[in-house]
Amino acid sequence: MHKFDLKGKNVLVTGGGTGIGRAIAIEFAKLGAQIVVNYNSSKEAAEEVVDEVEKLSSIAIAVQADVTKEDQVMKLVKEAEVFGQGKIDILVNNAGTLVERCKLDEMELSLWQKVMDVNLTSTFLVSKHVIPVMKRQNQGKIINLGSLAAHDGGGASAIPYAASKAATQAFTKGLAKELAPYNILVNCLSPGLITTRFHDQYNTMENRVKTCGNIPLKREGLPEEVAGAAVLFATEYGSYITGETIEINGGLLMV
C-alpha cells in the first residue's frame, strides 16, 4: 500500500460541508477514505459533499449534530462508528467560526462563551468521545484546526476567536502527549487568509487585499492547500509527527 493511501480508513470531519472541512473530506476521499460529513445547519452543502465523494468511487454520509452539545456529539460519534464498522481512524475537528466581531469592553459573556464553545469546546467534546474508539483500535489520527490568529491576536474585535485558536493549539500538544502511548497522533493545521465563506462573512475585501499585500506569496490560500497539509498528518508519511502545528499562510507569519 502506498503511504498516501487512505483506503479502508473511516474519517469523521466536523463542519465538513463547507470551506476547509469540505476540501479535506474530498481530498481524503480521493485517497480512498470513506467520510462522515458532520454539519449543523448546512445540510444541502453537506449532501453535496457526499455526492462529490461518491463520484470519487468512495462512500460518505452526512450527519447533523451541534458539536457544542455533548448529547448530540455522542450520537454523531456512534453513527460514525457504525458507519466505519466499529472504527474511526481519523478525526478532523474543523467546526468553528468567529460568530461576530465585538470589542471586549462591549462584549456580553454569552458571546464569549459561544465563541469558545464552537471553536474549543467542540474540539474537546468530539475528541473525548472518539478517543475510546481509537484506544480500542490502538491507533488513530486527530487533526485540529487552529489559526494564524493564535499568533497575532486576530483581526479587529476578534479576541475570543484568537484566544480559542491559541487554546486549540495548546490542547493539541497536551492531547498528543496523553495519547502517544495508544499510537494516536494529534496535530493541528493553522490556516492564514484562505478563500472561504468565513472571510466572505467576517472580512472586508479591502482588508483582504491589504493583507495579501503583506503576504510573501501575494495571494490568498485555497482550501485545497490546507487539505494538502492534512493529508500529511492523516497518512503514513506523518507516522512520526505528533503535537505539531503546520502554518499555512503563504509566509505571512514570517513577516
DSSP string, the chain: --TT--TT-EEEETTTTSHHHHHHHHHHHHTT-EEEEEESS-HHHHHHHHHHHHHTT--EEEEE--TTSHHHHHHHHHHHHHHTTT---EEEE----------GGG--HHHHHHHHIIIIIHHHHHHHHHHHHHHHHT-EEEEEE--THHHH--STT-HHHHHHHHHHHHHHHHHHHHHGGGTEEEEEEEE-SB-SHHHHHHS-HHHHHHHHHHSTT-S-B-HHHHHHHHHHHHSGGGTT--S-EEEESTTGGG-
User: Annotated catalytic, 161?
Assistant: yes
Which is catalytic among the residues 161, 182, 237, 240? 161
Active site (catalytic) residues: 161
